[in-house]
């Protein structure tokens, strides 16, 4: 722990030594600088910012109140304690109003060490509060970006008061003016088409009565603008609110009109994730009640993010339906994951991708939802079919959606490998962003590297990236593997080291000719044996497809 840096403003050598002796006897770990007049004091503040300032009040041609005001005008945030021989009550009050943290009389110097510790504890608590508040704002901006991309709105319903709170995206979905429209249960239910009203009303009643704690339903509405929309709604009871004891229900609504039309011909692309809310409480509850409320808001945001991810990603058994001889080895580090896979089929091609987003848990899950929606938009809506161009378009969309709005450089992004499979031509065309494609056949294992650029991540690469693709032929019995780096980043083994890519490639070569279910079993058993009692360090996703 670094030493406390103290600046002492004192014009009496004798009094200076008294203060120093008191601090040294208290076993405070500190260094100090001494100034004795206004000029030295102001010059010192311009050059160095101390951890705390101790100042006499009565100085030759200067005083402690003037020193306190000068410090404030210079923008120096260091705490300030007056250490003086005597101080009238009215002067003491004026100094405290001007921002002094405490004042100590020189005949009671034994109070000084405890006063310093108390002031520094308050300073540390305030710094922690500001840091936590900044993190809350960052998480809220990510959530808003995810909602805009995914067309997902969130809402709260306070059953005791009847109050309903909508996010901005809820107004966009319903075509309502947030300046004039006040949402109510009755006015929203009137938007639901008559054939679906009774079913939707029953779900609402079950949630409101507490008969059900979670529900998911789809229905059609006629928005206030007159257009028909297909809506997916997820509800969740949140128990009793801590302040009022009032029952609260919250959930999400997603405009899936375009996706619904596509799903009439395509397999449903959703993935169910278990919910795990890791309540982020800080040890600042005694210092600031406002932070406690902000932490509660952050927890609600995490709940909403989990529900949004649940509404978007694919079920794990979807890969087996498209590729009968396949496996998905998926192990999130924190239940909600930054690793996900995406697949799509049209009349000519099968597409599959493994994506590794920056971060774990909720931050990674937010990025995974944005990435999944962008892949749908690029391939399905825009009709882009070439893997390299898909990655180029995805890179531009991520940059535009997350980074260029405020001109800041951010280290969020995605690594991925994307394959387009032509079964008639028996050809695989693929492109990668820092992720390779592994192919195992009778000749052995071949690693086809991806481009040395991520998707997004403007901190590492300021310019727009350019991705390339490669096409290879496959034969019956060949196996391809798409993977994040989580498997071979796992620590363990006899010396507590990583598996490493080289060992992972040897393992693929050993199992590549086995039946696909046997490959999955051996990869899973090897990982568990290697990991042992070590904690999982990253999200893990490996997909194997045998032709």
Quickly list DSSP for 325-349.
SEEEEEE-SBSB-SEEEEEEE-SS-
pLDDT at 60: 86
Q: What is the CA radius of gyration of the chain?
A: 31
C-alpha distances in Å from residue 57, one per residue of 87, 230, 327: 8, 72, 76
Angle at 81 between CA 59 and CA 89, to 5 degrees: 75
C-alpha distances in Å from residue 499, one per residue of 446, 502, 506, 525: 19, 8, 11, 13
What's the CA gap between 496 and 484, in Å, rounded? Answer: 21
SS3 content of the chain, % helix, strand, coil (to 5): 40, 25, 35
Q: How many other C-beta atoms are found inside a 10 Å radius of the C-beta of residue 9?
A: 27
Q: How many other C-beta atoms are found inside a 10 Å radius of the C-beta of residue 430?
A: 25
Nearest alpha carbon to residue 524 among 502, 547, 545, 540 = 540
Residue ranges of the chain with per-residue pLDDT less than 70: 1, 139-150, 238-246, 261, 263-284, 286-288, 291, 295-316, 359-361, 403-411, 457-465
pLDDT at 89: 82
State how far Cα 119 lies from the chain centre.
Answer: 33
What's the CA gap between 468 and 483, in Å, rounded? Answer: 19
DSSP assignment of 160-228, as one string?
Answer: TT--EEE-HHHHHHHT--TTT----HHHHHTTB-HHHHHHHHHHHHHHHHTS-SEEEEEEEEE-TTS-E
**Tens digits of residue pLDDT in 443-495:** 999 999 999 989 986 555 545 568 999 999 999 999 999 999 999 999 999 99
Residue 66 token pair? 């003037």
Nearest alpha carbon to residue 523 among 541, 513, 511 = 511
What's the CA gap between 371 and 313, in Å, rounded? Answer: 10
Q: Are strands 152-158 and 102-105 parallel, antiparallel or unpaired?
A: unpaired
pLDDT at 276: 56
Q: Are strands 339-345 and 497-498 parallel, antiparallel or unpaired?
A: unpaired
Q: What is the pTM of this model?
A: 0.47
pLDDT at 387: 96
pLDDT at 132: 82
Given a contact cutoff of 8 angstroms between Cβ atoms, the answer to whether 451 and 431 are in contact is yes
Nearest alpha carbon to residue 496 among 530, 456, 546, 541 = 530
Residue 441 token pair? 């056949």
Q: Are strands 470-473 and 497-498 parallel, antiparallel or unpaired?
A: unpaired
């Amino acid at each position: 722990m670094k030493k406390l840096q103290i600046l002492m403003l004192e014009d009496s050598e004798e009094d200076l030594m008294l203060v120093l002796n008191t601090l040294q006897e208290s076993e405070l770990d500190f260094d100090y600088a001494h100034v004795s007049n206004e000029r030295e004091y102001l010059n010192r503040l311009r050059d160095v910012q101390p951890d705390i300032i101790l100042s006499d009040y009565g100085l030759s041609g200067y005083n402690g109140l003037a020193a306190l005001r000068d410090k404030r005008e210079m923008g120096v945030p260091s705490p300030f304690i007056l250490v003086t021989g005597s101080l009238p009550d009215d002067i003491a009050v004026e100094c405290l109003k001007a921002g002094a943290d405490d004042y100590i009389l020189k005949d009671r110097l034994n109070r000084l060490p405890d006063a310093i510790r108390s002031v520094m504890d308050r300073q540390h608590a305030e710094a922690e509060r500001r840091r936590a508040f900044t993190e809350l704002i960052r998480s809220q901006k990510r959530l808003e970006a995810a909602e805009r991309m995914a067309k997902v709105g969130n809402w709260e319903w306070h059953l005791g008061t009847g109050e309903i709170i909508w996010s901005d995206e809820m107004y966009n979905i319903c075509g309502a003016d947030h300046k004039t429209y006040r949402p109510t249960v009755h006015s929203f239910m009137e938007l639901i088409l008559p054939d679906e009203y009774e079913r939707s009303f029953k779900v609402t009643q079950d949630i409101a009565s507490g008969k059900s704690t979670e529900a998911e339903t789809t229905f059609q509405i006629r928005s206030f603008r007159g257009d028909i929309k297909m809506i997916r709604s997820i509800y969740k009871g949140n128990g009793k609110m801590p302040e009022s004891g009032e029952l609260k229900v919250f959930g999400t609504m997603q405009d899936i009109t375009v996706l619904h039309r596509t799903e009439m011909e395509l397999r449903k692309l959703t993935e169910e994730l278990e919910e795990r809310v890791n309540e982020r409480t800080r040890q600042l509850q005694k210092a600031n009640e406002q932070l406690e409320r902000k932490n509660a808001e952050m927890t609600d945001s995490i709940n909403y993010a989990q529900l949004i991810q649940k509404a978007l990603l694919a079920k794990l058994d979807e890969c087996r339906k498209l590729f009968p001889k396949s496996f998905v080895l998926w192990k999130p580090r924190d239940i909600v994951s930054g690793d996900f896979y995406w697949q799509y089929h049209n009349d000519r091609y099968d597409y599959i991708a493994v994506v590794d987003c920056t971060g774990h848990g909720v931050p990674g899950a937010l990025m995974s939802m944005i990435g999944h929606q962008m892949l749908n938009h690029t391939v399905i809506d825009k009709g882009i079919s070439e893997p390299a161009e898909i990655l180029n378009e995805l890179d531009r969309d991520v940059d535009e959606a997350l980074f260029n709005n405020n001109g800041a450089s951010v280290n969020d992004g995605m690594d991925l490998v994307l394959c387009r499979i032509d079964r008639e031509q028996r050809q695989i065309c693929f492109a990668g962003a820092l992720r390779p494609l592994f192919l195992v056949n009778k000749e052995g294992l071949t690693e086809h590297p991806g481009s040395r650029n991520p998707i997004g991540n403007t901190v590492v690469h300021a310019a727009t990236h350019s991705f390339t693709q490669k096409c290879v032929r496959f034969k019956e019995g060949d196996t391809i593997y798409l993977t994040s780096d989580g498997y071979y980043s796992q620590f363990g083994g006899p010396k507590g080291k990583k598996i490493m890519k080289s060992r992972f490639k040897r393992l693929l070569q050993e199992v590549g000719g086995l039946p696909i279910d046997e490959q999955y079993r051996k990869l899973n058993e090897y990982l568990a044996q290697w990991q042992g009692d070590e904690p999982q360090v990253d999200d893990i996703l490996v997909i194997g497809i045998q032709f």
